[in-house]
Structure 1
Amino acid sequence: MKGFTVPERWRGMPLLILASFLFALMALFARMLSGQLSVGQVVCGRFAVGLVFLAVYYPAVRRRPRFGRPLLWALRGVFGGISVYLYFVCIDRVAVGPAVLLNACWPIYGSILGYFFLKEHVSGPLLAGLVMTTVGAGLVIWGTSLETSSLSFGLGAWAGMFSAVFSGAAVVAMRALRNDTDAATVFLSFCFFGLLFGLPFALADWRPLSPHTVGLLVGVGLASAVAQMIFTYAMGYVTTAMGGVGSQLTPVFSWLLGAVFLAEPLAPLALLGAALCVGGVLWGTGLLHKLLAPSPLSPPPGRPNA
């Protein structure tokens, strides 16, 4: 907003923490809708709120969408829409903490897909990180399954893993678009094609709406949109490494919110798997190395400041 500035002490990591919390809050609201509305309805609710936001945004800034490469633009939205649908299927059938964690493994899959389609470098640590996150995800699924007797748990767990794969594909498409397509137009693709993808599922399993469910749907959409805007703003004040670390706080917040508000169990084996997943993402994408590397502005250890 023109003329509005965030105090310097609240920029960067504080805003990343807030964005991670809001992403976790979105997952909590979606979990609260489990059994009340179909997954398709929740998906459509999320993207409908995003389209309303864009309908206000474009006239306010006096701009129009800029379509650089229409096919790639459409693919970004399709991949993103599939990812969100599978993500919400996972949330609908699995505890909110493990569901968010399975989706949070997307940086590894995005890096692998980036190698094949964008010719980006794949290192040994990346492959090791992929193995670590895969083992961690398996432990999350195993540990959580011991705490639930739901027959649909297996479907939800697989949906969570594939949601991470499609998230990675969506990010790869977004990277390819970044030179000739603005962020709002990319977000438009996400919302438009996500709504189209979710609509048949919503109509096929339409359930009556109530003030309570509508309120939660609006909460899902608003929490997602505000979190995305805050995250984007905060990334202008931190390194890529810090941004990656900040995003890994979302599963932590989700687990805590699920335990506090939904009394969901904290399985020790699943928590061990969570640690492996987060460690694998940080290691495989190089974020851990960047965080531990000394700053070039700092003097070598043992030497006084000049």
Structure 2
Amino acid sequence: MPSVPERLRGTPLLVVASLMFAVMALCARTVAGRLSVGQVVCARFAIGLVFLVFYFPLTGTRPRMGKPVLWTLRGLFGGGSVYFYFVAIDRLAVGPATLLNSCWPICAAILGIFILGERVNGYLATGLVATTFGAGLVIWSTVQGGLALTSGVGAWAGALSALLSGAAVIALRALRGDTDAASIFLSFCFFGLLVGVPFAVQDWRPLSADMVLPLLGVGLSSVVAQMIFTYAMGYVTAAAGGITTQLTPAFSWLLGALLLGEPLQPLAMVGSLVCMGGVLWGTGLVPRLFVPTPKPSP
């Protein structure tokens, strides 16, 4: 990725990535029910691979796989996460689906305890409780009024996508020390396409002309978002990255309401605020901002 001024790396780039991820979700929602989830997943990753076919020759670089196992796991976890995320978008409104997926920072923190041996602190424990409660409110708001099966499946798919996203980000962070953003993105697209193909073949639906533009929107916005996100994660901690990307559900809810006329359910909005607050608290931003740091003893 081209050089970016120091002041614009990290958090500012993650804000842009968050907006582009919301645009991707909006485009995916516009073809929900008309194309299978597998087809949308394949379109996203196929467009990403086409981008990389031109990117590497134009930049004079080659893919690097310094840690093949981690490189592969990054792609498999990420591809699985996208599949379940698109299932959630297909079954729910854009806002709730994105909110559930955006719980990944807490999932990453929990996985870090078991995989990396990181310690549990009070902020993480209370943040996990708040995030779980908030996500529960969102899930309940989507299935109440008859407990519709389609909404229930979508809600749990959104939660599973967050878990897989957390695992993918742990692999990404481990790779960024010696692997460039484009090479990591190659893993994401290649293995993501492999994940999507069986589902696309199993439930193939005719593609009409009016679906081409939304599918291009899914692919192109995801390329921009993922490249910026992967690049920026080399300049921030996983927690800081997770905090900034909490803008994605806010952008998604706003775009869904303005452009698709999706309802803003009060219980879901309350749950989203509790959920996002839990992520911010559990990953440490709120404590650092509002809890004074003890001064060292003289």
- When the two structures are superposed, what TM-score results if normalisation uses the length of structure 1? 0.87
Structure 2 matches for 1:225-304, cutoff 5 A?
A: 225-232=223-230, 243-292=241-290
CA distance in 1, matches of 2:155, 2:250: 18
Residue 233 (structure 1) shift? 5.6
Structure 2 matches for 1:60-139, cutoff 5 A?
A: 60-139=58-137
Structure 2 matches for 1:69-218, cutoff 5 A?
A: 69-146=67-144, 150-218=148-216
CA distance in 1, matches of 2:59, 2:147: 51
Residue 20 (structure 1) shift? 1.7
Residue 286 (structure 1) shift? 0.8
> Secondary structure of 1:265's match?
coil
> Secondary structure of 1:152's match?
helix
CA distance in 2, matches of 1:48, 1:208: 18
Equivalent residue letter for 2:23: L
> Structure 2: 5+ residue runs without aligned partners?
none
Residue 149 (structure 1) shift? 7.0
Report the equivalent of 1:304: none
Cα deviations across residues 117-167 of structure 1 (Å, max 9, x unaligned)?
112232121121111111000101112333787431111110000100011
Residue 239 (structure 1) shift? 8.0
Cα deviations across residues 7-66 of structure 1 (Å, max 9, x unaligned)?
97x777654433222111110110111011100000000011111111111111212111
CA distance in 2, matches of 1:153, 1:73: 34
> Secondary structure of 2:149's match?
coil
Residue 240 (structure 1) shift? 7.0
CA distance in 2, matches of 1:60, 1:294: 49
> Secondary structure of 2:113's match?
helix
Equivalent residue letter for 1:108: I
Report the equivalent of 1:28: 26
Given that 2:104 and 2:242 are in contact with CA atoms closer than 8 Å, whether structure 1 keeps it comes out as: no
CA distance in 1, matches of 2:183, 2:9: 25
Cα separation, partners in 2 of 1:147 and 1:215, compared to 1, 3 Å: farther
Residue 226 (structure 1) shift? 1.1
CA distance in 2, matches of 1:250, 1:149: 27
Given that 2:73 and 2:171 are in contact with CA atoms closer than 8 Å, whether structure 1 keeps it comes out as: yes
Given that 2:49 and 2:186 are in contact with CA atoms closer than 8 Å, whether structure 1 keeps it comes out as: yes
CA distance in 2, matches of 1:230, 1:75: 20
Residue 252 (structure 1) shift? 0.7
Given that 1:20 and 1:249 are in contact with CA atoms closer than 8 Å, whether structure 2 keeps it comes out as: yes
CA distance in 1, matches of 2:70, 2:287: 32
Equivalent residue letter for 2:192: G
Equivalent residue letter for 2:164: F
Alignment counterpart, residue 39 of structure 1, candidates 37, 40, 43: 37
Equivalent residue letter for 1:100: T
- When the two structures are superposed, what TM-score results if normalisation uses the length of structure 2? 0.89
> Structure 1: 5+ residue runs without aligned partners?
301-306
CA distance in 1, matches of 2:53, 2:12: 29
Given that 2:97 and 2:155 are in contact with CA atoms closer than 8 Å, whether structure 1 keeps it comes out as: yes
Given that 1:244 and 1:287 are in contact with CA atoms closer than 8 Å, whether structure 2 keeps it comes out as: no
CA distance in 1, matches of 2:78, 2:150: 24
CA distance in 1, matches of 2:112, 2:264: 34
Cα separation, partners in 2 of 1:269 and 1:102, compared to 1, 3 Å: same
C-alpha RMSD over aligned residues: 2.6
Query: What percent identity do the matched residue pairs reach?
Result: 64
Structure 2 matches for 1:42-57, cutoff 5 A?
A: 42-57=40-55
- How many residues align? The count is 294
Equivalent residue letter for 2:51: F
> Secondary structure of 2:219's match?
helix
Cα deviations across residues 150-209 of structure 1 (Å, max 9, x unaligned)?
431111110000100011111112223233332221111111000001001001111111
Larger radius of gyration: 1
Equivalent residue letter for 1:281: V
